[in-house]
Amino acid sequence: AQSVAQPEDQVNVAEGNPLTVKCTYSVSGNPYLFWYVQYPNRGLQFLLKYITGDNLVKGSYGFEAEFNKSQTSFHLKKPSALVSDSALYFCAVRGAIKAAGNKLTFGGGTRVLVKP
């Protein structure tokens, strides 16, 4: 079974400071990893994904994430946070193997609060 852990329910950061949202995963075979952001009463917006290739993935709105196979992690980062980055962030994983039905498994979410 595949699983995702986001160990922090909430992350507080001052505007302009670096932002990190942690994610670790467990999956059979090679992982496909995703980050999504959700604003209040809205659906999920795609930020970035890792399929293969470079371990550092760059995505939307200045976000990036680093795939670390040995630590089974895929932490989301932004060098300089904005107040508008305040939202709920979800990490998700699915296995590369088609037998899994391409189901995404989501982490519990991390609320990011960026203070001015």
Partner 1 sequence: GAVVSQHPSRVICKSGTSVKIECRSLDFQATTMFWYRQFPKQSLMLMATSNEGSKATYEQGVEKDKFLINHASLTLSTLTVTSAHPEDSSFYICSARGQGPYNEQFFGPGTRLTVL
88 has which bridge partners?
38, 111
Contact 79, 62 (CB under 8 A): yes
Instruction: Pick the closer one to partner 1 by CB: 18 or 103.
Output: 103
| Residue 44 binding partner 1, by CB under 8 A | yes
Cα 6–Cα 21–Cα 46 angle in degrees, nearest 5: 90
For residues 2 to 41, the per-residue mask of contacts with partner 1, x marking binding by CB under 8 A and - elsewhere, is --------------------------------x-x----x
Q: Is 8 helix (H, G, I), strand (E, B) or coil?
A: coil
Nearest-approach distance from CB 62 to partner 1, in angstroms = 21
Distance CA 89, CA 74 (A): 13
| Residue 104 binding partner 1, by CB under 8 A | yes
Binding site for partner 1 (CB under 8 A): 34, 36, 41-46, 49, 90, 101-104, 106-109, 111
